[in-house]
Every structure is written in C-alpha cells, then in structure tokens.
Chain A
Amino acid sequence: MAAIPGGADHAHDHAHDQPSGIMRWVTTTNHKDIGSMYLWFSFAMFIVGGIMALVIRAELFEPGLQVVDPDRFNQMTTLHGLIMVFGAIMPAFVGFANWMIPLMIGASDMAFARMNNWSFWLLPPAAILLSTSLLVPGGAAASGWTLYPPLTVQMGMGMDMAIFAVHILGISSIMGSINIVTTILNMRAPGMTLMKMPLFCWTWLITAYLVIAVMPVLAGAVTMILTDRHFGTSFFNAAGGGDPVLYQHIFWFFGHPEVYIIAIPAFGVVSQVIPAFSRKPLFGYASMVYATSSIAILSFIVWAHHMYTVGMPVAGQLYFMFATMLIAIPTGVKVFNWVATMWRGSLTFETPMLFSIGFLFLFTLGGFSGLVLSMTAVDVQLHDTYYVVAHFHYVMVAGALFSAYAGAYYWLPKWTGHMYDEKLGKLHFWLSIVFFNMTFFVQHFLGLAGMPRRIPDYALQFAEFNKISSIGAFGFGISQLVFLVVALKCIRGGAKASAKPWDGAEGLEWTVPSPAPHHTFETPPVIK
C-alpha cells in the first residue's frame, strides 16, 4: 500500500470540489469531516447536559429548596436524560463510526455520503428544539426522559418540542445506521471477510440493526402521546379505553435495546484499545462476536424488568427475571475475554488504556448492580430509587463515556497528526475516576436507604451522602474541561504523530498517514 494520496492531493481537492469556510462543513459529504462534526456536536451537548446535571446536584446539595423550583427541577432531569442519551452518547459513537469504519475496512467513504451529511445536519435543529423548550411558556418537558403518560399529557408546548426533537433524532439515527450497515456489508476491502473485521465494526454492525429495529418503536410511542395530547385519542387514557401501562411496554421495548445501542459500540472501542496496549491479540475474537450478538438479541426480550412494580402477572415477573439474568452470561464472557487479553501481555498504561481499564472495572460494577436489580423482589424495593440512578450511571458514564474517551485518546493522533499531552490526559483520567465514584457510588446507599429518584428535596437522613455526591459531581464536571484543553492543544500542535503511533495497534487505519488525508483508500487495499 504505497500509493496513499498525500498532502498535495488534499489541497487539490479543496480547490476543486469543496467550498471553503462554513460552507465546507454544511455541504461536506466526507466521512472524516462528518465524523468530526458528530464528535464536536456530541461534546457540546455533553457540556449542555452536564450543566443541567450540575443544576440538579446543586439543588440536592442540601435539604430544602434553594436553586430551582420543583417544576424547573423536573425539567432539568428530563432534558439531562434526553440530551445525554440522544445528543451526547449516541452521536459520539456515530462520530467514531463515521471516522473509523471506512478506515478500518478499507473503504473510500461511507456508502451514502449525501445521506450522511443529512443525518448529521438533522441533529442541530433537534438540539435547538430541546434546549429552547426551556424558554417557552410552561417550560420544558418535566416528565423524566421516559415521558410516561398521563403526566406527559398535562405538559405545555415544551413537551411537543421534545416529541418533535425525538422524532428528528430518531430519523437521524436510523439514517446513520442504514449507512453503517450498508458500508460494512458492501464496502469492505477485498479479502476482508466479516470475521476478519476489527471488533469495533462488528459492534457497530450489530448496534445499527438494533437502532433500525427500535427507533421506529419510540417514534410510534411518542406520536401516540402527541395525538393523545392534541387530537383526542386515548391510547394511554383509561377513561377513553386506553392503558397508561401500554406506553411503558412500548417505551421499554425501545428503551432496553437503547441501553445496548449505547453500550455495544463502547464494547467495540475497548476491544480495539485493550489489545493495542497489551501488545497481544484480542482473546476469543469469535466468542466476542457471538456474545455481542447474544446480548443484542436478548435485549429485545427483557424490557419489562423496568416495570416490575406496574403489577404484571407473577408468570411475567418470573419470565422477565430469568431472561434478564441470562444477559449476565454473554456480558461475563466479554469481561473475561478482555481480562484474558491483558493476561500475560506486555502492558503499558497510556491514557486510552487507563480509560479502558476504568471502563472494564466500573462497567462490571454497574453490571453487578444490574444483576441485583434483575431480582424482581429486590428490584421492587430499589425501583425508582437512587440505587437505579447509580446503576445506570455506572453503565452510561463509566461504561459508555469512559469508552468514548478511550477511543478519543486512541485515535486523536490519527485525526490530528499530533500526539496529545499525555500528562494532561492522565490527569483527566484520574480526576474523572475519583470524582465519578464520589458522585455515584454513594448513590447506591441513598437508594438502599429509601431515597426516591427525581425529587428536588429530601428527608434529613439522606443529607450526608447527597452532599458528597454533589461535591463529586462538580469535581467531575470541571474535570471534563481538561479533555477540552487536551483536544484543542492536540489539534493546534504537539509532537508529530507517525502513521502508527501505538506500537501494539493493529488495523488498516494505522496504514494511512497521520493525520489521515482527506481521501483514503480510493484504491481498496487487499487483505490476505
């Protein structure tokens, strides 16, 4: 692979087929540009959602009402959830997919380059709808990100804006996923069979099918809320022959796979990083593929474990408990495989590896609290408490976010052509892991002691842990700015990165120069 187009062609492209300035980004169909925009967008949304989290934690610093009134508080918890799930984490991994999948499979770009542009540019309007809903009369949706009716039927126009935002974000995700599936299935370089693909591509292939399967379900559910609100239907209104619990079934049929839509690409990133810094191939590649597929399939048949307290038949509770416990098996296989990859390797601990180990350690902790919650009788006590809040933040933050950071540090040299500041990167990791645990570990105890979630004020026995949690949250929030500094420094300059800055890394992306030229693999490489 000698003939990789270099810098000269790069400039040439700019002159001929691309406008400059802002129009370059508006009209781009290049997977690297679009990937970068996804990543910046998700980081911006991460900051917005993070500020909302800090408003929540500021209010909960002490008993009593200090910072916001209860209605605003509920708006904050709702938007924090929606923005972090749909605006920050999902687009972050789509950004990784855009940048890395073509580079990993030796494709010149994504399959549908123009649709790729469109699926990105749908995101900002949705983000604007969500954030400006705070300013309309009645404020934003205040029903929790799960949007349960009949409460959602009571809200003002902020709820309609949230519903439209969810529609738009859903369309964007579906288009992105169609693009990823098509790219992976059709555009692999000659000789790259499916079972030779980097695991990151496998995890995204599986995730993309999940997205295509469940986003329309969510769109249907919120549309039914919309018509219940404005057009006199009674899908979820018992007085008109509907059933409020029906919404919960539909929502969680989407909602549980959604958890894996977030987690599975995170598994993929970690499966790239751990072998690279262990200098040893991934242990059990095939079993990783099968385990990931099993998790995806199981995710469709466990949804009602979010609803143990709605009053379903005993047989239903038993079935959903057993099905949920089953997920522990493929998840366990993955954790064991990662540990076995490290075993007898030659380990170094650059920032991507630190975040991956942090992921492994804390995600597993979140997995175990999930296993505790799968027990119906225990879950009935812990449902809708801070134990659940702690559980899913271990999965979402220490899981998905830490993995996204691992990926960002791992591929920053490829994206920018410079090495990032290792000292600052490590500082970012250690601050994050300490403050993360300070924020969320104590929330397990709050839940066990009986503190419900989504309350702006609480009884006095919860005061100490809430104080610790709030201090941790501010520390965690401020630590994330270190990453911004590292990323900006890395873009502006720093030590030149070679084509393959990590000696243990494997894959086609390391065969192109750093920074990756605007166009790569115009002639597909041949894999033996």
Chain B
Amino acid sequence: MGLSLLSGLVRAEMKFNLQEPATELGHKVYDLHLMMTIVCGVIFVAVFGVMFWSVFVHRKSAGHKAATFHESTTVEILWTIVPVFILLGMAWPATKTILAMRDTSNPDITIKVTGYQWKWGYDYLKGAGEGISFVSNLSTPQPQIRNEASKGGEYLLEVDNELVVPVGKKIRVLTTAGDVIHAWWVPALAVKQDAIPGFIRDTWFRAERTGTFRGQCAELCGKEHGYMPIVVKVVSEEDYAAWVDGKKKAMAAAADDPNKVYALPELAPRGEKVFAANCAACHQANGKGLPPAFPPLDGSKVVLGPQDEQIKVLLNGRPGTAMASFKGRLSDTELAAVITYTRNSWSNATGEVIQPSDIKMARE
C-alpha cells in the first residue's frame, strides 16, 4: 500500500494546481489564485513561525516562567490595520478580473446550452454555424462504469457529440435548463455558469489555442450528476467551417418527414436508440426501472393501456416526480418511435405502432 502510494505521488499526472488555462481570462484566474496562495502561505508561515517558536522556547519543561502581559492597544491596532492594506492589495487585481470575466458584449458566436437530466443540449443561435442543434451524451460504456471492462483514458469525460468552436473567436454561452439546476463548467476555459430552469444566464470564452477541453456538470442535479460531461473541441477557422458544413448536411439528411407512416420493424429500432439516450438512466435498459422512484415500464399499466395516456405523460411529464416533459426535447418522430418501442419490448407486445401524426395531434 505504502509503496503504491509513493509511486502514485511521483506519477506525472498528479496535479497540484489549476489546469493549464486556454483563455486569457483563465491565465488571469490562474495568476490570481497563485498570488493569493503565495501571500496566504507567507502570512501563514510567519504567524505559525511565531507560534512554534513559542511552543519550543516558552515551554514550562524548559523552565520558562509565564509573563503577565495581556493587552496592548498599539499591537491590536497594528494587526487590524496591516491586514486591511494586504486585503486592499488583493482586492485590486481581483476586481479587474471580475470585470473582465463578466463582459459578454460583442460575441462572434452565441450558443445556447441547455442542461437536462442528464445530458447537455447545444443550439448555435448566432454567428457561424447558426441553426446547428444537437444533444451531447456521455459516451463511456456502462461496462466500464460497472468495472466489467477496463476503463478508457477519457473515462467519464467523453461524449458522443462534442461542442465544436473556432479558435480565437469570442463565444458567448447562454445557459438554461429543462428540469433542475445544472452548471456548465470547463476548467481550462475558465468558465462555470449555473444553468437554471426558466431563466437564461450568460458567460463567455475565447480559446487561445486549438485542442479538446473537458469539463463536467458542477451542480448536483440528481442520480446521474456525475455522468454528464462536457467536451469542447476548439478547432481552426477552416476546420470549423468544414464542420459546420458537414453538420448542416447531416442534420438535413436526418430530418424526418413528420407525415410519414411507419411500420413496426422500421420504428422500433429507432425507438430503442431514443430510449437508450433518454429513458434508460431511470427506467433501465431492461425496462424494470428502479422502483419506487423510477417505475418499471415492462408490464406497466400506462404502457399497456390507451396510447393517449402514455403520450400525455411523455409530453407533459409527471410534476413532482423525476419524470420530465419531453415536449421540447424530442421530435414527433422520436416520441412516436420511443413509445412504439416501449409498447413492443421486453414482455410488452401490443403490436401497436404509434405514428408521428398521433403525437402531432396530441400536441395540439
């Protein structure tokens, strides 16, 4: 044990300071933290130098006789005034950094980030890439988490769809949430902003270099809070343009015709994917749920009952429980697919196919 600890200590990945910043603001924060730590460290050593001197020299066992002094107005005033000046010295750079941190004006690109239990939604609202919209999920496979497979190098910090932004551009990030409070945090970009349901907050960053930067949700948001990472890929302007192009084409190709009528073998596999990304965290891949908080769908009265009732639950959620509303999160086709899937999986075999048009009707 001791040896493995020791070898751990000398391993290169043991970090004792903030992550290497990739933004100008990040450097300011890094320097501010370092300055604070050094100043505090010096004061700490000075004060406890005095105390330990006393501990070693003024001990009874060394024959020291106690003095009787117990006040000195001069000293009291001195050690009240001196810290005031030290604090003023600290407040000056701290204030400048805050003002820089909060200046979200004149962005090149504006991206809305929406926190969901437990994934991130990204919508490119303004600037190059406008109109792009996708959801970003943890891509670490379950067996790695369950210790049934060896863990990859980016364990828990990898996603299926990365946020891609160009280097050197001011990116304004608007944060909001669909259910509970989350916080969008990327340490190297020096960005952390709470994502609050019903409200929009903003922050910004301008990456100095290309690279992949990883972060996590920083506000406890329920069961899978530890499993909603953020990956930001900063690329050159040309690469970004190419990515926007490709992404837009892919989105156009993937757009569904809302009036299409599907057959079961076509819709169920699509539904399985939607289920895995949106439902399985609570209701589990085997449909057994985690009762009583997360009820089973296998054999569920709602799933096997009239379809309108189930559509209503998915559209509106169940207030007061963890069941969220998926009205704004999934398209008609996706909702139709996932409902069809649940009604025809595990021991459920209704044979019913829910069409996108059914969802559209229920929405109205």
Contact = CB atoms under 8 A, between A and B. Distances in A.
A146 B31 CA distance: 31
Contacts of A309: 183, 192-194, 218-219
Contacts of A368: 40-41, 43-44
A437 to B, nearest CB: 14
A216 interface: no
Given A243-B199, A329-B87, A459-B156, A71 B293 contact: yes
Interface in B168-200: 179-181, 183, 185, 187, 190, 192-194, 196-199
B146 interface: yes
B246 interface: no
B180 A371 contact: no
A150 interface: yes
19 contacts: A150-B181, A151-B181, A153-B320, A279-B66, A281-B68, A310-B201, A311-B201, A321-B95, A333-B76, A339-B54, A343-B50, A344-B64, A346-B58, A365-B44, A371-B90, A381-B192, A458-B156, A459-B157, A460-B151
B76 A343 contact: no
Contact of A450 (B40, B90, B187, B221): B187
Given A339-B50, A377-B28, A238 B180 contact: no
A343 B58 contact: yes
B48 interface: yes
B13 A461 contact: yes
Interface stretch (B16-24, B123-131, B259-267, B341-349): B16-24
Nearest to A465: B14
B91 A325 contact: yes
A154 B98 contact: no
Interface stretch (A114-122, A137-145, A172-180, A262-270): A137-145
Interface stretch (A18-26, A30-38, A253-261, A283-291): A283-291
Contact of B58 (A144, A347, A458): A347
B8 A464 contact: yes
Contacts of B60: 279, 346-348
Interface in B84-111: 84, 87, 90-91, 94-95, 97-99, 101-102
B198 A346 contact: no
A123 interface: no
Contact of B196 (A74, A245, A344): A245
Interface in A361-376: 361, 364-365, 368, 371-372, 375-376
A467 B221 CA distance: 25
**Which secondary structure dominates where chain A touches chain B?**
helix
Nearest to A242: B198
3 smallest beta-carbon distances between A and B, as pairs: A238-B198, A455-B226, A311-B201
B18 A448 contact: yes
B76 A284 contact: yes
Given A138-B292, A311-B201, A342-B58, A452 B180 contact: no
A332 B83 contact: yes
B220 A64 contact: no
Interface residues of A, number: 101
Contacts of B25: 377
Nearest to A341: B70
B253 interface: no
Interface in B293-322: 293, 320-322
A345 B320 contact: no
Given A239-B198, A325-B91, A348-B61, A143 B17 contact: no
Contacts of A376: 94, 97-98, 101
A263 to B, nearest CB: 18
Interface in A56-80: 63-66, 69-71, 74
Interface string B320-332: 1110000000000
A16 B17 CA distance: 67
> Max chain A CB contacts within 10 Å: which of B1, B41, B99, B223?
B223
Contacts of B250: none
A452 B68 CA distance: 50
B5 interface: yes
Interface of A: 63-66, 69-71, 74, 137-139, 142-144, 148, 150-151, 153-154, 156, 229, 237-239, 243-245, 278-287, 309-311, 314, 317-318, 321-322, 325-326, 328-329, 332-333, 335-336, 339-349, 357, 360-361, 364-365, 368, 371-372, 375-378, 380-381, 383-385, 445, 448-450, 452-461, 464-465, 467-468, 471, 504
A153 to B, nearest CB: 6
A71 B151 contact: no
B225 A377 contact: no
A142 B225 CA distance: 11
B166 interface: no
Nearest to A241: B198
A310 B84 CA distance: 29
A80 B310 CA distance: 38
B364 interface: no
A345 to B, nearest CB: 5
Nearest to B53: A343
Contact of A372 (B33, B97, B101, B154): B33
A467 B46 CA distance: 32
B141 interface: no
A477 to B, nearest CB: 17
Contacts of B187: 381, 450
Given A153-B320, A280-B70, A336 B225 contact: no
A287 B70 contact: no
Contacts of B220: 74, 143-144, 148, 151, 384, 453-454
Contact of B83 (A329, A360, A380): A329
Contacts of B217: 452
Contacts of B9: 464
Interface in B254-279: none
Given A284-B70, A345-B66, A461-B15, A317 B181 contact: no
B251 interface: no
B293 A156 contact: yes
B242 interface: no
A361 B51 CA distance: 9
A381 B225 CA distance: 18
Given A364-B47, A454-B225, A459-B157, A65 B147 contact: yes
A23 to B, nearest CB: 41
Nearest to A348: B60
A325 B90 contact: yes
A365 B65 CA distance: 30
A137 B54 CA distance: 57
